[in-house]
Amino acid sequence: MKVLDLDAVRAFVLVADLHSFTRAADALDTTQSAVSLKLKRLEAHLGKQLVERTPRVVRLSADGNAFLGAARDLLNAHERALGSLSVERRRLVLGLSEHVAGPNLPTLLATLNAHDPGLVIELHLGMSAALLAQFDERRLDAVIVRYGADEPPRDDAQALFSEPLGWLATPEWLLRVGEPLQLALLSAPCNVRTVALQTLNEAGIAWQEVFVGGGVAAVGAAVAASLAVSPLARRVAPRGLVDVGARLGLPPLPESRVTLHSRVREKRSMETLRLVANGLATQ
């Protein structure tokens, strides 16, 4: 009877979820070559090619797709077996910036649950400054926040990725001649709000706030309703919005950086936290 290596199966599932050997290695806190070796040994053990490797993309083979569901079931059964011996379930209290969480958050949460069903995730969405304050008060185990390009990150920040901000609106949105730029913004304090208004002021562009939201979902809804333009990362904005900055002659916005602050030390929870970070980067 063939006995499967659970570490190799876990590596395969992460490669499938993240579409990348490099990101899977980050989630497992190991090297890309180690993940590749685990996959090769698993494929040799099964006598099947599970992953098609090309220079630009990693995708599952037909056998890989057929094996993925059973691989998840195996890992889940293993977690349930371990959980049955635990008096208390593990918990991760995570803060996530409104300007980082995107519309694919439900998919990411489903992936996390499939990857680590024994972990209770307590998720708090908010503004970066408020989340960092809660982290310092030890109310959160980890936070993923956004820094402006000119804002120096703290010493405990782990860089995850950078991305540009754009002036997003519906394709049909038009600026009326002689009127100030109509904006939909998050309420202060908000780093993205501050950077956007500073950029407009330095360029001498008149603006008018027509909508203030308590979260990115509210601001995105206002922009999707053609009420205004908003400075947003395309990844977190509703689908269908376009960057109207060049058409309106607006100054470009600087890139912003997404960072992780964590005091998590338990190995399995650290692995899941890295999966969150990599999942956000691939949205």
Domains of the chain in start order, with CATH, are 6-87 (1.10.10.10), 90-161+257-262 (3.40.190.10), 166-254 (3.40.190.10)
- The whole-number pLDDT of residue 242 equals 93
Q: Does residue 44 have a pLDDT over 80?
A: yes
Residue scoring higher pLDDT (161 or 243): 243
What are 158's two structure tokens? 């782990």
Strand, helix or coil for residue 137: coil
Model confidence at 87, pLDDT cuts 50, 70, 90, reads: very low
User: CA-CA distances (angstroms) from residue 248 to 169, 174, 191, 254?
Assistant: 11, 9, 23, 17
152: preceding bond cis by omega (within 30 degrees): no
Residue scoring higher pLDDT (174 or 84): 174
Residues with Cβ within 8 Å of 151's Cβ and at least 6 positions away in sequence, in order, are 191
Please give the Cα distance from 42 to 211 (Å, whole number).
Answer: 54
What are 161's two structure tokens? 């990725």
Q: Does residue 139 have a pLDDT over 90?
A: yes
Cβ neighbours, 10 Å, residue 36:
17
Dump the DSSP string for 249-267: TPPPPPPEEEEEEE----H
Q: Does residue 208 have a pLDDT over 90?
A: yes
What residues form DSSP beta bridges with 177?
none
| pLDDT tens digits, 34-43 | 888 888 988 8
Q: Does residue 84 have a pLDDT over 70?
A: no
Residue 211: name the closest of 246, 173, 249, 178 by CA: 173
| pLDDT tens digits, 179-206 | 899 999 988 778 888 889 999 999 999 9
